[in-house]
Structure 1
Amino acid sequence: MARIHFKSRRDPLFGVVILGTVLTMLFVLVAELNRITQPGNEVEVLGLIILGLVIGLMFWLWFDTRYSVDEAFVYFRSGPIRGKIRVTAIREVVIGETMWSGLKPALARRGVVVKYNRYDEIYFSPDSNEAFAAALRDVNPDIQIVGKEKIKSL
């Protein structure tokens, strides 16, 4: 089986939060850079560097969140967060659920919660929840697929 790639769906709520945060930080950054040009003002270089790094991190998360499935693993990446889960360790996939705490390399609500090992779970928001669950089930037919939405094709 070739590796199947899934982009992360982008929810308007997450877009507003990320864009609002970035615009606020850019406003502060520009205001501080303006203040630096005036005589007698001290420069807080460390603060400006941290502000720039946080802005970069937000863009990295927005533009580099994706998933892929091959015959052995589910790979995920969201900015600096990267990992893989053995597909044979997955026991259940919940479609249409939103997980509000825990590991969430996702940019949208109503994605999939992948339960693996004994107590571990992770939240993904692939562009197609059903296609993602079907790709997992193609590798491991023992995965239980449950959901809040009607699931016809699985």
Structure 2
Amino acid sequence: MTFRSKRDRTFIGFISVAIIIIALATLLPAMFEIFTQVPDMTAVWITIVLFLLCTGFIGWISFDIEYTFKDDYLFVRGGPFRSKIPYEDITKVKPTSNILAGYRILSSKDALEIHYKKALTGSVIISPERQEVFLQVLVEKAPHIHLMK
């Protein structure tokens, strides 16, 4: 069973501001070059390509987020970042609003922190769309976990 990541306005706003800042840092100098002097078209194309690569990567890691229940593990994927979390390694799950620290693959403030034994940072923070159903499936797969409210 696969769950998509929940998206909220705060996250969309944050990503939009990041893309605007990248656009100002890359495209504004390119436009200034085009309109004020004889443009070096190679430099202009390089900045446009850099803008597209940066925004494409941000879009990929921000909007291509899934949490999939496999037979033996929870597969968490956000763009190129992937984690296989064996059910037997999960110790506890708790709601969290602290989404700025730690290993996180999410797109909402309404998040769950999954603690597991072999995590580099001790946990992963995720934001499944249907959180109650996600927790039900997780408890079915790993009945030993401690759910905190």
Q: TM-score range by the shorter chain?
A: 0.7 to 0.9
Query: What percentage of aligned pairs have identical amino acids?
Result: 20
Residue in structure 1 matched with residue 13 of structure 2 by the alignment: 16
Residue in structure 1 matched with residue 144 of structure 2 by the alignment: 142
Residue in structure 2 matched with residue 123 of structure 1 by the alignment: 125
Letter in 2 for 1:24: I
Task: Give structure 1 stretches of 5+ with no counterpart.
Answer: 148-154
Residue in structure 2 matched with residue 83 of structure 1 by the alignment: 83
Deviation at 1:127, TM superposition (A): 0.5
Superposition pairs of residues 3-152 of structure 1, within 5 angstroms: 4-38=1-35, 39-42=37-40, 43=43, 47-117=47-117, 120-147=122-149
Deviation at 1:62, TM superposition (A): 2.8
Equivalenced residue count is: 144
Give me the whole-angstrom Cα distance separating, in 2, the residues matched to 1:25 and 1:84: 32
Give me the whole-angstrom Cα distance separating, in 1, the residues matched to 2:60 and 2:33: 28
Q: Would the alpha carbon gap of residues 78 and 118 (structure 1) be closer, same or farther in structure 2, given more than 3 Å must change? A: closer
Deviation at 1:143, TM superposition (A): 0.8
Contact 1:5/1:68 (8 A) holds in 2: yes
Greater alpha carbon shift after TM alignment, 94-103 vs 34-43 = 34-43
Deviation at 1:37, TM superposition (A): 3.2
Q: Deviations over 1:75-124 (max 9, x none)?
A: 11111211211011101111354343111000111211001117721100
Q: Deviations over 1:18-49 (max 9, x none)?
A: 01221333344443443343543442665544
TM-score norm. by structure 1 comes to 0.80
Q: What SS does the aligned partner of 1:126 have?
A: coil
Instruction: Write 1 or 2 for the structure with the bigger share of helix.
Output: 2
Q: What SS does the aligned partner of 1:109 have?
A: coil
Letter in 1 for 2:116: Y
TM-score norm. by structure 2 comes to 0.82
Give me the whole-angstrom Cα distance separating, in 2, the residues matched to 1:52 and 1:32: 15
Give me the whole-angstrom Cα distance separating, in 1, the residues matched to 2:88 and 2:79: 26
